[in-house]
Every structure is written in structure tokens, then in C-alpha cells.
Amino acid sequence: SIPLSFFSGIGYASKNGILIKGSNYLEALKDVDTVVFDKTGTLTKGVFNVTNINAVDISKQELLEYAAIAEVNSNHPIAKSILKTYGKAVDLDSIKNYEEIAAHGIRVQYNNEKILAGNEKLMKANNILYSEAKEVGTVVYVAVNGIYKGYVVISDEVKEDSKDAIRNLKNVGIKEVVMLTGDNKDVANKVASDLNIDTVYSSLLPNEKVEKVEEIYEGRNEKEKVAFVGDGINDAPVLARVDVGIAMGALGSDAAIEAADVVLMTDEPNKIYKAIEISKKTNKIVW
Ligand code: ADP
Ligand code: MG
């Protein structure tokens, strides 16, 4: 039978904006010793600003237009940010053969132009001769009909409470904090060092995020649980794999809310230590 205190723990958590989908997850939370975070939209705001545009043989405005055409049908935070900066309407009827390639970018046809917009992986996979951006940032390279046209550098900010969130996790006994991201190494290392994250893996494809989590599970016993925190964009398989999958509920995708065991209503990373603390106290205190 389930002790009454589990129900009160879940109720208390929900008053704090933490929805726990079952008493088994509340119980598992107290045994979590490793917390794995996704980066974009989880530790960072997921709201990118354009910080530089480098156009080759066309104007910066034309380059931005190509990027906007490619991104107009994507829900990725990168897409929303590029469309916001572009600030104009895109002729949706001229778009054909739209394809979003996870952790790479977009391939699309616009009238008779084939546009690619995405990271270095996308350029390499399509044999585009591109020149590498020098500045630290998330880079969206653009190619049209196989010809490199330049890049847009965008940058995201860490959430106000992310640093406190990591510190508080250490204070409630978490041994290791890990960050996984599909973004590039320079951006990943900058965020990890700003937030005092122990271990960071970058340039990961969605299936490679699952593989990293499998590695974390190697040599563990049943009592050493792993939690993952994500927004469901390119990380829903990881949310489903771990002992406690925690999703950002406000900006996160429906897939995240579905795949998760715990949903944070306010998207604040600093709620995670709170959930663990509630779990640890639930057996001792009746709220
Ligand atoms: P994260 O792991 O940080 O949440 P994702 O797995 O969603 O990031 O994406 C990884 C990388 O793939 C991005 O940093 C970007 O380089 C590229 N990417 C993904 N989606 C898009 C898109 N719609 N447009 C351009 N690039 C994209
Ligand atoms: Mg993500």
C-alpha cells in the first residue's frame, strides 16, 4: 500500500508548480544522484538574438531572408528567433519539399532555389564548401543551390535561476550534474563553465543523447537513480529513458509533457532541487 504521506508530498509539490505523475516518481527522486540537463530552453531561455550576419556575395538582408524562408515552418527556438529578426512575411505558397533534420537544420525548396540552413553537420552532409564562423555562438550556415551564402550567428542567455539551480542540487546531495546538447562545443563549454556544470557533451544527435545516458547508467546499482531535464525538442527519447524524466511544461512541447514523469509548470531549473527535497522529506513529515 502507498503511505498517505506520498499523496501529501505530491500535493505539496503541485502547490510549488511541480507536477509529479505518480508516487513511484516521488519516491525515486530521493535516490537521484545524477541530474542530466538539456541546454536549449532548459538551462538557457531558448530565445536567441541575432548577433552577427556574414553574407557572401549577397546582402545581409538577403541572407536573413533565405534563413527566414527555411525556418518559417519550424518550431525550433532557433527558427522563432530568426523569424522575429526578419520581421516580415514569407510567401508560404512558394515553399516545397520542406524537411527538418534533427540537430542539423532545414532543407527546403523555394520556387527553383534549394535552401539549406543549419549547422556544420548539415553543410558537411551536403558537401557545401563553407567557411567556419570565428565567433562563439550558435551558427546557422546558409547555402542556396549548393553554393555557400554565409552565416547568421545567434546567441541565447542562461536563465536567471540556472546557476542557483546547480548549486542547490549540490546542496541536496547530487553528486554529478551533466549537460547534453546538440549545439557546438564552444557554446556548450561557455554555458557549462558559467553554471559550474561538472560534465558536458556537445554536438550530439538525439540518439547520441540517449547513448550518453546509457553510458551514465553503466556500473550503477538500482539505488543510484538518474534524472533528466529537458524541453522535449530533440530530447523526448531521453526523457522516456531515465528513472525520472523532468520536462519544462510552460514552453516545452506536448511531446515533453507526455514523455515526462515530472512537469515543471514555470520552467524554472531551480524547482528541481525542491522536488528532490520534497521527496526526501515526504517520509518523515506529514505536510
Ligand atoms: P539542444 O541540444 O541544445 O537542445 P538541438 O538538439 O535542438 O539543441 O539542436 C542542435 C543543433 O542543431 C542546434 O544548435 C543547431 O545548430 C541545429 N539545429 C536544430 N534545429 C535547427 C533549425 N531549425 N535551424 C537551424 N539549426 C538547427
Ligand atoms: Mg533541446
Handedness of CA 186, 188, 191, 192 (dihedral sign): negative
Cα separation, 275 vs 277, in Å, equals 5
156 Cβ inside 6 Å of ligand 1: no
- Answer for the pair 184, 135: CB distance below 8 angstroms, yes or no: no
pLDDT in tens, 69-123: 999 999 999 999 999 999 999 999 999 999 999 999 999 999 999 999 999 999 9
Mean pLDDT of 195-215: 97
Among protein residues, the one with the nearest Cα to ligand 1's atom 14 is 183
Nearest to 253 by CA among 100, 101, 75: 75
Q: How confident is the model at residue 249 (pLDDT cuts 50, 70, 90)?
A: confident
Q: Return the higher-pLDDT residue of 183 and 255.
A: 183
Interval between CA 264 and ligand 1 midpoint (Å): 23
> In this predicted structure, what is the pLDDT of residue 287?
45
117 Cβ inside 6 Å of ligand 1: yes
Query: Where in the sequence of the chain do the CATH 3.40.50.1000 domains occur?
Result: 4-45+157-282
Using the predicted structure, report yes or no on whether residue 7 has a pLDDT greater than 80: no
40 Cβ inside 6 Å of ligand 1: yes
Query: Where in the sequence of the chain do the CATH 3.40.1110.10 domains occur?
Result: 49-155
Q: Return the higher-pLDDT residue of 285 and 145.
A: 145
pLDDT in tens, 12-71: 999 999 999 999 999 999 999 999 999 999 999 999 999 999 999 999 999 999 999 999
* CATH architecture, range 4-45+157-282: 3-Layer(aba) Sandwich (3.40)
Return the active site residues: 38
Helix segments in 16-116, DSSP class H: 23-29, 60-71, 77-86
Predicted TM-score (pTM) of the model is: 0.92
**Topology of domain 49-155, CATH:** Calcium-transporting ATPase, cytoplasmic domain N (3.40.1110)
Interval between CA 287 and ligand 2 midpoint (Å): 35
Interval between CA 209 and ligand 2 midpoint (Å): 10
Q: Which atom of ligand 1 is nearest to the CA of 231?
A: 4
154 Cβ inside 6 Å of ligand 1: no
Q: How confident is the model at residue 4 (pLDDT cuts 50, 70, 90)?
A: low
Kindly identify the ligand whose nearest atom is closest to the C-alpha of 231: 2
